[in-house]
């Protein structure tokens, strides 16, 4: 969402390897790969970013004209990083099979699904307990009761069923969109960045690129808090995606697979956008604390990011 190698130092890495012995670390892979250099990595990164942003502009432009995040356009734009990665691979004559498609160890995918559930619960529980927002939002409870055919069932039961269904069946639809982004960001981009910079910088730089990609939608559609300073929301969104990118990068490198990042992304979108935020009762300033444009998630993700930077150093990532 890599110690010891500084910016601008030439390395000889390939993005990412097709097969490696499981005991070989990411740093050792970088040393052992001899078919590319830092100039190749820069070329690949520039190509990927230009192609991805150019293709995305088609669908982002359509949403800007609507002033809203139309679902089919959202799905299309979320798959543009994957298309960008495929086209870049074709241009630089790298097989698409070289991307980290392997499912990997189940534990990393389970951790990826669980992390937004727990991190989001901590963040939103603080908001609810401090009175920065209320819980539960009875409009959401009523909507879930109708949607899931629960009639006049008790509020705790409706919340339980709603969360259970969204967190399981709902993850399928969320993953179908998130994987399109993650094939590009974590399946391709971070492996190229790793040839040029240490782990923490990979997270920061990939997060900056990821954040920039979102800015037009934040400023020109309804993908925002709906009220308050746009500059404040953009700043907090960058804090959110940069800290999250460190986490995503750790899971990807540790598992040597893009799937934990895809599941993490899908789980984040699901729990934050479809569960925790809708269950929150908004007051005059609640928007400053919750969702991807509030303070609390970047704080929690920031703490986790520092932990994963520490773990990456210990593990030679």
pLDDT tens digits along 90-106: 999 999 999 999 999 99
- The mean per-residue pLDDT over the stretch 118-124 comes to 98
Q: What is the per-residue pLDDT for 37?
A: 76
Top pLDDT among 14 and 214 is at 214
Predicted confidence (pLDDT) at residue 306 exceeds the cutoff of 90 = yes
Max intra-chain CA distance, the chain: 65
| Residue-level pLDDT at 13 | 39
**Structural domain boundaries in the chain:** 26-315
| pLDDT at 22 > cutoff 90 | no
Read off the pLDDT of each residue in 29-44 and give the average, rounded to a whole number.
Answer: 70
The whole-number average pLDDT for the span 183-196 is 97
- For residue 16, pLDDT beyond 70: no
11 pLDDT higher than 50: no
Residue 15 predicted with pLDDT over 60: no
**In the predicted model, is pLDDT for residue 46 greater than 80?**
yes
- The answer to whether residue 36 scores a pLDDT higher than 70 is no
* Closest listed residue to residue 82, CA positions, set 64, 62, 96, 98: 96
The closest alpha carbon to 30, from 173, 154, 194, belongs to: 194
Of the candidates 46, 14, 50, the residue with the CA atom closest to the CA atom of residue 194: 14
pLDDT above 80: residue 38: yes
At a CB cut-off of 8 Å and minimum separation 6, what does 172 contact?
A: none
Q: Is the pLDDT of residue 2 over 90?
A: no
Cα distance between residue 65 and residue 220, in whole Å: 9
**Global pTM value:** 0.88
**Rounded Cα–Cα distance for residues 161 and 253 (Å):** 35
Q: Determine the pLDDT at residue 20.
A: 42
* Mean pLDDT within 176-182: 97
Q: What is the per-residue pLDDT across 234-271, written as a single tens digit (0 to 9) for each?
A: 999 999 999 999 999 999 999 999 999 999 999 999 99
Mean pLDDT of 291-306: 98
Q: How confident is the model at residue 19 (pLDDT cuts 50, 70, 90)?
A: very low
To the nearest whole number, what is the mean pLDDT of the chain? 91
Q: Which residues contact 23 (CB under 8 A, 6 or more apart)?
A: none
Q: Quote the pLDDT of residue 27.
A: 53
* Cα separation, 23 vs 198, whole angstroms: 20
Is the pLDDT confidence value at 126 over 80?
yes
pLDDT for the residue 188: 98
| Residues 6+ away with beta carbon under 8 Å from 100 | 16, 187, 191, 252, 256, 257, 258
H/E run at residue 110: helix 106-129
């Amino acid at each position: 969402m890599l110690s010891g190698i500084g910016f601008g130092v030439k390395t000889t890495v390939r993005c990412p390897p097709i097969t490696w012995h499981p005991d070989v670390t990411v740093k050792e892979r970088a040393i052992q790969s001899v078919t590319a250099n830092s100039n190749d990595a820069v070329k690949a990164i520039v190509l990927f970013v230009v192609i991805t942003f150019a293709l995305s502009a088609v669908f982002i432009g359509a949403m800007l004209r609507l002033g809203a995040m139309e679902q089919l356009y959202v799905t299309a734009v979320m798959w543009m990083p994957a298309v960008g990665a495929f086209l870049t691979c074709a241009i630089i004559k790298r097989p698409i099979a070289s991307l980290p498609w392997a499912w990997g160890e189940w534990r990393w995918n389970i951790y990826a699904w669980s992390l937004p559930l727990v991190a989001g619960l901590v963040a939103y529980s603080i908001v609810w307990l401090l009175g920065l927002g209320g819980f539960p939002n009875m409009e959401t409870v009523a909507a879930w009761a109708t949607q899931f055919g629960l009639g006049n069932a008790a509020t705790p039961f409706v919340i339980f069923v709603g969360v259970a269904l969204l967190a399981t069946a709902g993850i399928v639809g969320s993953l179908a969109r998130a994987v399109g982004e993650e094939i590009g960001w974590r399946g391709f981009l971070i492996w190229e960045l790793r040839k040029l910079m240490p782990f923490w910088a990979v997270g920061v730089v990939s997060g900056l690129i990821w954040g920039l990609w979102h800015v037009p939608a934040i400023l020109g559609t309804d993908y925002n808090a709906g009220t308050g300073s746009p500059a404040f929301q953009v700043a907090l969104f960058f804090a959110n995606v940069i800290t999250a990118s460190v986490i995503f990068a750790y899971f990807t490198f540790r598992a040597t697979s893009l799937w934990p990042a895809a599941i993490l992304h899908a789980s984040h979108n699901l729990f934050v956008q479809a569960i925790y935020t809708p269950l929150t009762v908004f007051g005059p300033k609640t928007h400053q604390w919750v969702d991807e444009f509030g303070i609390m998630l970047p704080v929690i993700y920031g703490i986790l990011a520092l932990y994963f930077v520490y773990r990456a150093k210990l593990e030679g990532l």
